Amino acid sequence: MIQLRDLSAGYGGRDVVHGVTLDFPPGRVLALLGPNGCGKSTLLRAALGLLPRSGGQVLLDGAPLESLSPRRRALMAAYLPQSRPTPNITAYKMVLHGRFPHLSYPRRCRREDYEAADRALRWADAADVAPRPMGELSGGQRQKVYLAMALAQQAPTLLMDEPTTFLDVGHQLEVMAAARRLAQEGRAVVMAVHDLPLAMRGADDIALLDGGRLAAWGTAEEVYASGALDRAFGVALRRVATQSGWQYYYG
């Protein structure tokens, strides 16, 4: 489990995230919400050691982040960034990159690595594009491939920065459903998202950042009742009870 303790981080000597204490518990989907520029991406990157901290501590299964090698960190937590360059390789080779933390030098994939990549592609509904070059894929198809790469890493914690970018509504729902299945398998899933109704309906817990500080943290029900979402986004988030649970909408 990843634990943030009074975490501060930023760029060029200016903090974007200020004193955040937050846990990413296994078996749950945590939606990281907040207005543009509030520090969601910064927090995820600092939690993985991809961005230096200016204060606080990050613990991975109780061990300080800086005491673990990059390979060990990658075995414990996978990261799906918001955007990345599109390499000139096939989708299948892209997914195999997720196996790198499991390989010693030189990186020669074994049968179990190919099997893990195959499972991840099927899981992400991307097996049909496996032989195609990444540059030929649509934005939504590439996003599925990147998700499969993260799944192939087989880490107990998965951090995703805007995983529904480029996806239509149907595929956004599929990503949330996939996150829930991963949590049911016992993984900790953290998703930075912009779609409030999607997050409120699909996530177990909500962490709301506002101005780089943790403005609210709890179940979707608790955060909704606090009114913190309306204050942070300047919108009126409302809900109606249905047979399948609460449906959230902008009032």
In the chain, helix, strand, coil percent, each to 5? 40, 30, 30
SS3 56: strand
Q: What mean pLDDT do residues 146-171 have? A: 87
d(CA 145, CA 156): 19
Residues with Cβ < 8 Å from 228, sequence gap 6 or more?
208, 210, 215, 216
Helix segments in the chain, DSSP class H: 40-47, 70-76, 91-96, 111-123, 139-152, 169-184, 196-202, 220-226, 228-233
Rounded to the nearest integer, the mean pLDDT of the chain is 91
pLDDT at position 21 over 90: yes
Least confident of 32-41, 85-94, 136-145, 148-157: 136-145
Q: What mean pLDDT do residues 73-98 have? A: 91
**DSSP classification of residue 89:** S
Q: What radius of gyration, in Å, describes the C-alpha atoms of the chain?
A: 18
pLDDT at position 133 over 80: yes
How sure is the predictor about 107, in pLDDT bands with cuts at 50, 70 and 90?
Answer: confident
A 10 A CB-CB count for 105 gives 5
d(CA 182, CA 115): 18
Q: What mean pLDDT do residues 74-100 have? A: 91
How sure is the predictor about 50, in pLDDT bands with cuts at 50, 70 and 90?
Answer: very high
**DSSP classification of residue 36:** T
Widest distance between CA atoms in the chain: 57
pLDDT at position 190 over 80: yes
Continuous segment of H or E residues that includes residue 192: strand 188-192
**Where are the extended beta strands (E) located within 25-73?**
29-33, 53-60, 63-64
